[in-house]
Amino acid sequence: AAKAAGKGTYRFFAPDMHEQARVRQQIEEDMQRALERGEFHVAYQPVVHTVSGALTGVEALVRWTHPTRGAVSPAIFIPVAEEAGLIAEIGEWVLRTACMEAAKWPAPISVAVNISPIQFAHQALPSLVASALAYAGLPADRLELEITEGALLNETAKTRAAIDTLKGLGVKIALDDFGTGYSSLSYLKSIPFDKIKIDQSFIKGATLPGNNNAPIIKAIVGLAADLGMITTAEGVETDDQLALVRSLGCTLIQGYIYGRPLDPQSALERSRQSSAQAVGHRRER
Ligand code: C2E
Ligand code: MG
Ligand code: MG
Ligand code: MG
């Protein structure tokens, strides 16, 4: 039975289809109560400039601590939330929480929020974003929305209008997990992204022998530059990977080598530290 998988795990890949459906049902029911009970929180992972190592922003990542199962990965519960019609509510909560948190950090440190394709398809997204910014008192240019190709699969005039409205507010738009979807290049042609996040699957093997990752990363960086977009290398963990993405010219780095996702207090301290350092540098000159 699923329970036999023990605390902290949802036995998601149960061989039995019926069992699988039951576990999913359970996650769904538990999630419905999770918001009211305050079981969600947001973690903030540092994003730094590749050359200087200075903190430029953080990515907001939702966390769920289940009362009996412990931490449940967003990779598991976000897809369930999307199918169960709960993602709009969870996503709005994350957006509002992240904006309020980011308003405490010194400028120009920004916050990036993941937006599900389902939220993106909803025509109220721009007004929701405007409301979250106004309530938090966060300038629009310090918010970035991360969208995946999934949000653009059925790119319509509506999607394009939503992006234009969001950009009109001053919000930045990043294309997340680049390279893992179907036909990324066609989106680059039509959508004015500010940033491309190179998926961690390209970084992972890049420094090992026998793969083509480095030339692919290099090509993405060059393409982005020609299109006036910056790049973030996701999932940088080792010194070798850091040296490689530096040499290939990625603008920004996000990965365990510079920090795991932090609780709000630690993120606040980190942002203040980095701001103090920046002031120090200016004084030295
Ligand atoms: P993502 O948006 O691509 O976020 C980056 C993921 O990579 C995060 O996993 C982060 O903890 C992980 N990561 C960062 N650096 C490293 C590294 O050096 N090594 C390794 N192994 N992993 C690294 P996380 O927090 O588990 O989130 C997984 C995915 O869940 C996210 O991928 C995103 O697609 C989704 N997600 C998380 N929070 C939200 C949210 O608030 N809304 C929506 N719609 N999706 C979310
Ligand atoms: Mg992301
Ligand atoms: Mg990503
Ligand atoms: Mg991802």
Tens of pLDDT, residue by residue over 241-257, are: 999 999 999 999 999 99
User: What residues does ligand 1 touch, defined as CB less than 6 Å away?
Assistant: 45, 61-62, 73-75, 78, 91, 94, 114, 116, 146, 176-177, 200, 235-237, 254-256, 261
Report CA(61)–ligand 1 centroid distance (Å): 6
The residues near 99 (Cβ < 8 Å, ≥ 6 apart) are: 111, 113, 132, 133, 135, 136, 138, 143
Name the closest-CA residue to atom 33, ligand 1: 114
| Ligand 1 pocket, mutate which of 44, 96, 114, 176 (most atoms under 8 A from CB) | 114
Q: How far apart are CA 144 and CA 162, in angstroms?
A: 14
Task: Please report which ligand is nearest the Cα atom of 232.
Answer: 3
Integer angstrom CA distances of residue 152 from 81, 92, 116, 175 = 19, 20, 11, 10
Output the average pLDDT for the chain.
90
Segment 221-227 shows an average pLDDT of 95
Task: Please report which ligand is nearest the Cα atom of 145.
Answer: 2
Report CA(200)–ligand 3 centroid distance (Å): 7
For CA atoms 159, 163, 168, 169, give the dihedral sign.
positive
Cβ–Cβ < 8 Å for 195, 231: yes
pLDDT for position 183: 62
Q: Give the CB-side neighbour count of residue 16, counting CA atoms within 13 A.
A: 7
Cβ–Cβ < 8 Å for 172, 145: yes
Summarize pLDDT for 67-120 with one digit per residue, the tens: 998 999 999 999 999 999 999 999 999 999 999 999 999 999 999 999 999 998
| Poorest-pLDDT segment among 36-50, 93-107, 155-169 | 155-169
Segment 203-217 shows an average pLDDT of 92
The residues near 57 (Cβ < 8 Å, ≥ 6 apart) are: 47, 109, 110, 111, 112, 142, 144
pLDDT confidence tier of residue 15, bands split at 50, 70 and 90: low
Per-residue pLDDT at 38 exceeds 90? yes
Name the closest-CA residue to atom 13, ligand 1: 235
Coil vs helix vs strand at 154? coil
Report CA(192)–ligand 1 centroid distance (Å): 23
Per-residue pLDDT at 281 exceeds 70? no
Q: How far apart are CA 178 and CA 174, in angstroms?
A: 10
Name the closest-CA residue to atom 25, ligand 1: 61
Amino acid letter for position 244: L
pLDDT for position 14: 56
Cβ density class 156-182: b for 16+ within 10 Å, e for less: eeebeebbebbbeeebbbbbbbbbebe
